[in-house]
Structure 1
Amino acid sequence: MKHPALIVFAKTPVPGRVKTRLCPPLTPEQACRLYAAFLSDILGEAARLTQWRRVIAYAGDPDWFAPWGGDFELLEQQGADLGERLLHAFEAVGTPAVGIGSDSPHLDSEIYRVAAERLEQVPVVIGPCTDGGYYLIALARPVDLFTAMPMGTDRLLAATLGRGRNLDLAMELLGEDSDIDTWADVQAVRAKLPAHSRRTLAAIEAELAR
């Protein structure tokens, strides 16, 4: 199997700019701490793919990602909105690539390997979310499945599949899973979170209980 690139789309953790839908019950500072734990766990899992090219497509201050510089290339996101930023990153990387976000720390790197294997058969592989979006999208070559799309809505997956059909692209769906946007989402996946994220969550819940 040829190893593609892995692109992790991430924001620098800043209170009030990440995981705002967790507030309330969390404060912006607590939501930021939890997001930072999620992101660290995702990058730690991705770093295990030692034979892959690994890229962090970041928005914000790159200094937060400096400790990961030995394992990842840093690529600044560019574009007026999320769709443009996604397309730019895939085009900048160029090679077959698996793209993930920072909302699913409970997924392990095996799902990235599965997506890479599927890319040998079809040009587009998507990991659908229970909320109508997707937790992973993999492309054999850069193609615009992103601009002018209903990002962040329950219509995103359907719209993406529709555009793929219009472009005459064969697409394959992986198993459905969830991402973490709300406090209910946190509770739904807490048992599957990595140990670091679980510890951070427990500490925050202890603060809420006081």
Structure 2
Amino acid sequence: MSARPPATGPATLLVIAKEPVPGRVKTRLTPPYTHQEAAALAEAALADTLHTALKAPVRRRILVLDGVPGPWLPPGFDLVSQGSGGLDERIAAAFGHCDRGPALLIGMDTPQLTTELFTGVGRDGHDAWFGPAADGGFWALGFADPARAAVLVRGVPMSTDRTGAMQRRRLVEAGLSVSDLPVLRDVDTAADAVAVAACCPPGSRFAATLNSLVEEGR
């Protein structure tokens, strides 16, 4: 019996994020930034990501949130809470909110994201999509069949410099055809923030927020 071809068509876009509360987000930015400033940068990065998602030609948009929504959340998203457990468990659970068709999950740490980076997701005939991060993690992960995430994400050690390689290996070893998206840099440190802001498109809230802090002498 031949394998079922992967699903094609517009994807569900999942954004997994944490409410930008001082002291709970972007703590590696402190110092040089205060907890309030780090949270302001996190909120700007999240807002940029969500507004980019609004421009993406997708079937459905879901914000998978740890916390409660604020004025930074624009209309056009279904809102669900993150599950419990480690990040691997929460990512796997996020895909469980997709009812059918391909799905792509992104984070809130790449405000330089543009829709052109994932235009082919869901339409190019692959089984999976993988966006590596410069620090060894990943900024995007997608499946033609989101149910595969339950097995292929759980158990992958997160937040290491080998996370991306291990996650991609899981996909390949499962026999999936993988489309690699461009490498992006996450915002984790102050140096990351400066480098990412320089790559952001015009009108970026993240770049404007960072520039305002620089002008204040941070």
What TM-score does the superposition give when structure 1 sets the normalisation length?
Answer: 0.90
Q: Deviations over 1:136-166 (max 9, x none)?
A: 1111112133212121111111111222233
CA shift, 1:167, in A, is 1.9
**CA–CA distance in 1 between the matches of 2:24 and 2:152?**
25
Which of 79, 89, 98 aligns to 1:93? It is 98
Residue 65 to residue 11, structure 1, CA distance change in 2 (3 Å): farther
Match of 1:136 in 2: 140
Match of 1:80 in 2: 85
What TM-score does the superposition give when structure 2 sets the normalisation length?
Answer: 0.87
Q: Is the 8 A contact 2:15 2:105 kept in 1?
A: yes
**CA–CA distance in 2 between the matches of 1:26 and 1:59?**
23
Which of 129, 152, 159 aligns to 1:152? It is 159
Q: Deviations over 1:2-60 (max 9, x none)?
A: 21100011111101111111111111110000110111111111112365311101111
Residue 5 to residue 65, structure 1, CA distance change in 2 (3 Å): farther
Match of 2:51 in 1: 44
Match of 2:4 in 1: none
The within-5 A match list for 1:61-80 is: 61-62=68-69, 64=70, 67-68=73-74, 70-80=75-85
**CA–CA distance in 2 between the matches of 1:40 and 1:123?**
29
Which of 103, 125, 129 aligns to 2:129? It is 125
Percentage of identical aligned residues: 36
Q: Deviations over 1:34-87 (max 9, x none)?
A: 11011111111111236531110111123x16842x310001111211111111
Could you tell me which amino acid in structure 2 is paired with residue 26 of structure 1?
Answer: Y
Q: How many residues align?
A: 205
**CA–CA distance in 1 between the matches of 2:42 and 2:185?**
16
**Alignment RMSD (CA, Å):** 1.8
**3-state SS of 1:6 partner:** strand
The within-5 A match list for 1:1-210 is: 2-49=9-56, 52-62=59-69, 64=70, 67-68=73-74, 70-95=75-100, 96-118=102-124, 121-142=125-146, 143=148, 144-194=151-201, 195=203, 196-209=205-218
Could you tell me which amino acid in structure 1 is paired with residue 215 of structure 2?
Answer: A
CA shift, 1:172, in A, is 2.1
